[in-house]
Amino acid sequence: MNKQLYIHEIQALFDDVQRSEVFEDQKMMTDAVPLFPVEEINAKYEAEKQSENFNLKEFVLSNFDFLGAKISIQRENHLPIEEHIEKLWDELTRTAYEEKGTLLKLPKPYVVPGGRFNEFFYWDSYYIMLGLQVSGRVEMMENIIENCSYLIQNVGFVPNASRTHFLSRSQPPYFSLMLDLLFETTKDENIYIRYYDTLEKEYAFWMNGTQKLENGSAVNRVVKTIHGDVLNRYYDAENIPRPESYLIDIEDSENAGEEFYRNIRSACESGWDFSSRWFADGEHIQTIETLNLAEVDLNCLLWHLEKTLAKSSSLQKLNEKEIDYSERAAKRRQIIDQYFWDETSGTYKDYHIQKNTNTASEHIAALYPLFLKIASEDQAKAVAKIIEEKFLYQGGLVTTTQNTGQQWDFPNAWAPYQWLGYQSMKNYGFDDLAEKIKNNWCSNVERVYKNTGKLMEKYNALDIETVAGGGEYPNQDGFGWTNGVYLKLKKN
């Protein structure tokens, strides 16, 4: 197959397969690799589906390859957790030197999350790199950066994951942080110069449409407030059901607003799919309004990108560019404080573009200004107090204070925020709280591993006797970012 499979090329068949729930997991069909030219499969389907004995599942299985659809980790002996993770790095390594089905081609090997996720994921890869650093796997860290750069150069951004149906959205922009991590490891400043063009291209993607903005309007990933300040938001170019959660989206869309699908997809760009953070009523997915929000985490990450561009410009003696990016970063730092700091509650919150006020949702993304050292000492102290009182439980840090059954809500603890929490507290000298975050979560990971032999995608922070749940699919075993954060925290 020279031709990549875009889902819309088999839309009629795809729609029937997903609506008929041929597979328990809707992602199965998106990952399928056609065994014959797509035109041939379509023609065969149209001809055969009318027959009395037609079996849809048999048709799909005889026309598509499902090899590697799910990664299953088998262990005969129960290794110590660190040894298990070292073996996992190799088992979770994949290559995609050619395009297959929906899978995008990448120049270098990469580490996948695990379970049902058998492709390259953007923000997951940063947290995977934390563990690769501890394991001394510098070449794989470089591979991840090289793959991100390849995607930014060829697609214009790093897609959510390396499949064709993710070409309408990205994920939190971590590329500049990846460079910092590699620099911390190799002390080679040249990486900032080598990937300068890539940094600029990614920045252009996130800022695209700024020139067209009028006060109080939004386009793509940029918004201009009524005061004339430019902030960023998560966004997806498509307003159709997600192929990987097709039937779920169609069912959820009943009694929902016009741009329901785009709001759903835009939340996916944040990595938080899904959470009460995005819901107008704080409870129901039908009220999702991601497009109306500018997010604190995204704007902090773009501040870091601007700072990195200023640094890279300085290294190359590009004085005008250094001044430009430094000014952009200084302005963004000021508006992060202006729009995301909520004095009343003493924490950072997202900003509602239509209502010109902070949203009600209390969530763990408030850590980003501390993680990147944007917060003042007083702000950090106030956030630390809330983190300890409302977010820290026996099994780690929860993401929100709302229990809705969504996987990015209470009581789940996710690996990225344990690292962000630990590092944020260390940055401002709250060492005891940092240790507590580290120990609570690592103990939970160790307990689950001892009982199951698995490293999970997420954990239950409240009831440490239970495996975490919620969301659109069961908890996954693998698991890239858990492995990475666990190793990094244990080393610190």
| Residues designated as active site | 273, 457
User: What sign for the dihedral angle of Cα 321, 326, 332, 335?
Assistant: negative
Q: Is the CB of residue 230 less than 8 Å from the CB of residue 223?
A: yes
Q: Helix 296-315 vs helix 175-186: angle between axes, to the nearest 10 degrees?
A: 50
Cis peptide before 274 (omega within 30 of 0): yes
In sequence order, what are the residues at sequence separation of 6 or more whose Cβ sits closer than 8 angstroms to the Cβ of residue 89? 111, 131, 132, 135, 137, 140, 483
How far is residue 102 from each of residues 6, 7, 141, 306, measured CA to CA in Å? 6, 8, 25, 33
Alpha-carbon 67 to chain mean position: 25
Which contacts (CB < 8 Å, 24+ apart) does range 245-251 have? 245/26, 245/27, 245/472, 246/14, 246/15, 246/18, 246/19, 246/26, 247/18, 247/19, 247/21, 247/26, 248/26, 248/472, 250/19
- Exposure on the CB side of residue 472, measured as CA atoms within 13 A: 20
Residue with token string 């404080």: 337
Whole-angstrom Cα Rg for the chain: 22
